[in-house]
Each structure stands twice: as C-alpha cells, then as structure tokens.
Structure 1
Amino acid sequence: MKKQYNVGILVYDFIDILDFAGPSEVLSLTAFSNFQQNIMLYKRNLPKGKPFLVKTVSETGNTIKTHTGTVIHSDYNLNNAPQFDILIIPGGPLRAINKVRKNKKIIDYIVQSKNIEMICTVCTGSLILAETGLLDGKVATTHHLALSLLNQKSTGIQVVKDKKVVKDGNIITSGGVSSGINMALYLIEKLINKETALRTAKILEFNSYLESETMDVMDKINL
C-alpha cells in the first residue's frame, strides 16, 4: 500500500498567502498515477487515496488574517493537532515573523516535531525555525532580503544564497515567496519519485522546477 503523508502547515496572523497556498496546492494536487491525476482534474472533490493530506494548524484555531487581509480558518490548534509527517512553516513580513519567534508555545510545538519525516520552511519561515535551534549547524536558505538576518544567528548556520531549495537531513528550507512551490515539488521528488514531481509540475504548468535550483547537503557529502 502506498504511503499517504499527513502534512501540517503552520499559519499565523499576517502570514504571506502564497507561502502556504503554494505548497498546499502543489501537494494537494499530487497523484500517484496519471489515472488518479485525471480523476483529480475532473472531480469536484479530491480522492482520499492521494499522496498528501494537507491541513492547517494555528496557535488557537481561531481565524487569522493574512498579510494582504484575507481571513482563513485553520483546521487545528496546537493542542488538538495530530502528529504530522511533514510540517511546513511559511513566512511573512518581519514584524509578524518576530512576533512568532517570541511565541514560546509555537516554538515549543515546532521543537516537539523535530523527529518527524520532514520540516520545511518557505521564505522567512526559516527565521522562525532558526529560533528553535533546529537549524544549528545546518545549511539553509531564506528570502534574499533576509539572508543577512539568518546569517546573524550565532549558531553555525551555513547560509546559501544561490539555491531556491536546500535540504539538510530532515529539514528543507526555501528562499522567496514563490519558492514554496519549488520546495513542494522537491519534497515530492524526495518522498515519492522524480517522475511524480515532474508530472505534478506539468499539471500546474510550472516549468521553472529545475535541478540547478535545489541542493541536497547529504547528496553533496556522498559525492
């Protein structure tokens, strides 16, 4: 039986919409086969047996307002959320990021997820992850305007500026708002296979998914 991954996307006030909507759409529309993909394109409801089951989680479960004013309601709060296989931490404006970084409940929740299959960040979400200490000694990236902020952490983070997606162990970071789409496609490639990632990219007509923009630290070590 093919594995279905439970994905939790952390949402908070003033989050950037594309940071969480991009990965959510990519993973939700991923299919195990061409047949399943075709069903997804024609049916109103997505099939239950798809590779990724995507849900949102916020601190309280109350509605939140995004950076551009859109209101969304999360599926779970930090207390009733299930154990996810994959946790995605989107970014937002620095004032919002700094507020989350000071939120002990959210930081503790992320730390408790340190041994799950994958922890992923989009854009400035890496600054939140850095606050947990889970990026200590890791190779990582972020939005180009926040590279210096990530580099200022005195925890041995090796900051990469020329890759959209960087994987180090079970942590994947990505740089820039739209890079969440690249990150999600890379995640598909790593957890399922490259064929599925490329098929998903084609369905989305996202033609900029390139190997040259990704970096797997472990692959580099093994060379």
Structure 2
Amino acid sequence: MPETKVIGIVLFDGVEELDAVGPWEVLAYWTLNHPDDGYRVITLAPTDGVVTCAKGLRITPDHTFADAPALDVVLHPGGRGTRPLSRNREHLDWVRAQSGRAELMTSVCTGSLVYAAAGLLRGRPATTHWASLDELAALDATIKIDENARFVDDVDVVTSAGVSAGIDLALHLVSRLSFPYRAVGVRRAIQYDPQPPV
C-alpha cells in the first residue's frame, strides 16, 4: 500500500480562525472518512505551544516546523499575523524550502502575502482577500492578480480569496487530489451550500 501523503495546515499567532479551521473541516472530514484516498491532515507551527488566533481562539498544533513529517501539501492561512511573517527571514526560508519539496503550495486569504514575499508568486496568477489586493501587488508587481476569483489554481501553487473562500479552496483540493465526486460528498456532508441571508 502506498505511503500516506501529508497535508500540513500552518498555524501562527494572529492566524484568522476560519482560514485554518474551514479547510481543516473539509480536509479532515475527507481524510478520516476516506483513508484509502491516501492523505492525512496535520497542523504545525513555527514553535511549540498554543497558538492564539486573530479573534482569540487558542489552538495547540500537532507539530512544530522542526518535528513535523515531510509535507506533500502545504496550506498557509492568512490573518493579521501574516504581516510580521512576510518580513520574517526564517519563516520565508521555511516557505521556500517547502516549495522545493512539497507537491503543492496553497494559501488562504493573506497567506498569499507570505508566498509573495517569499517569491513564490512571481509572474503567476494569484488572489487574496479583497481588502489586501493592493498589498499583494505592492509586494510583487509581476503577480497577475485575479480580483474576482474565489481561488486560483496555477498547477503547483493555489491561492484563495479571503476567509470563507478557504472552504472552496479545500473542496477544490479534495476534487483535485482524489475525485470530483468525493468533493461533492464532502460538501454535502458538511452541509456547505452558501445562501447568505444578507
């Protein structure tokens, strides 16, 4: 039986809760209910200890960067904590290293700012939260920004718009990494069928 591949969701102080937990819900439901698809999902953070999210939710990651298994898919959420990370040389080096090893680098919301600062988005199509599009352009003028997309898939890098768009991105990953019908089943199971009341 082939070795199980690992999807890692990056956590950090100031991470936007739904950026991380929305994709976690999708990916964890998929991997726990369909282990034969060959994936599992973990959380990891730069250092040991509890992560305090943007609105106060506290999460204990499964691993640190140092003790995490090799990642096949990286998902970097956004949140106010991405601004210091986009200037943190050690974090950017880690992102670049993952890009050289992982099959797929993905981001939600302003996680794309970190990818841009690390040089991953140079000359590529990408997106981010609508309120941060100018920030993304300022980091790298070569990025082909899609202002309207919920997510942008550019082969080995996938970026999404803000917050709830991470759920769309995660469902896309399920479809891409397994089968479209599997993603439909996961969407139905978590009852994700947006019909905003306002």
TM, length-normalised to structure 1: 0.81
Unaligned runs of 5+ in 2: none
Deviations along 1:1-23, whole A, 9 cap, x unmatched?
57733011111101111110111
1:101 alignment partner, one of 83, 86, 89: 86
1:166–1:173: 8 Å Cα contact kept in structure 2? yes
Of 89, 113, 135, the match for 2:98: 113
User: What is the DSSP-based 3-state SS (H/G/I as helix, E as strand, rest coil) of the residue aligned with 2:25?
Assistant: helix
Deviation at 1:105, TM superposition (A): 1.6
Contact 2:116–2:140 under 8 Å retained in 1:
no
**1:190 deviation in Å?**
1.0
> Given residue 5 of structure 2, which amino acid in structure 1 is its aligned partner?
Y
SS of 2:139's partner is coil
User: Structure 1: which 5+ residue stretches go unaligned?
Assistant: 38-46, 209-223
Tell me how large the CA RMSD over aligned residues is: 1.8
Structure 2 partner of 1:70: 57
Give matches, 1:56-95, under 5 Å.
Answer: 56-93=43-80
The alignment partner of 1:152 has SS state of helix
Provide the identity percentage.
30
Q: SS in structure 1 opposite 2:99?
A: coil
Q: 2:148 aligns with which of 155, 159, 162?
A: 162
Measure, in 1, the Cα distance between the counterparts of 2:138 and 2:160.
18
Other-structure match for 2:187: 201
Deviation at 1:169, TM superposition (A): 1.9
Query: 2:129 aligned with 1:137, yes or no?
Result: no
Partner of 2:14: 14
Q: Contact 1:27–1:52 (CA<8 Å) still a contact in 2?
A: no
Matches within 5 A, 1:174-213: 174-208=160-194
1:41 match: none
Give the Cα separation in 2 of the matches to 1:18 and 1:154.
Answer: 26
Displacement of 1:207: 2.2
Letter in 1 for 2:119: G
Report the CA distance between 1:51 and its aligned residue. Answer: 4.2
* Larger radius of gyration between Structure 1 and Structure 2: 1
Aligned pair count reads 193
Partner of 1:217: none
Mapped partners of 1:18, 1:188: distance in 2: 18
- What do the CA deviations read for 1:87-119 (whole angstroms, capped 9, x no partner)? 0000002xx221111222211111001131111
Structure 1: which amino acid aligns with 2:89?
K
How many angstroms apart in 1 are the aligned matches of 2:138 and 2:186? Answer: 36
Q: Secondary structure at the match of 2:113?
A: helix
Shift of 1:68: 1.2
2:193 aligned counterpart, secondary structure? coil
> Once the 2 structures are TM-superposed, how far is the Cα of residue 152 of structure 1 from its aligned partner?
1.9
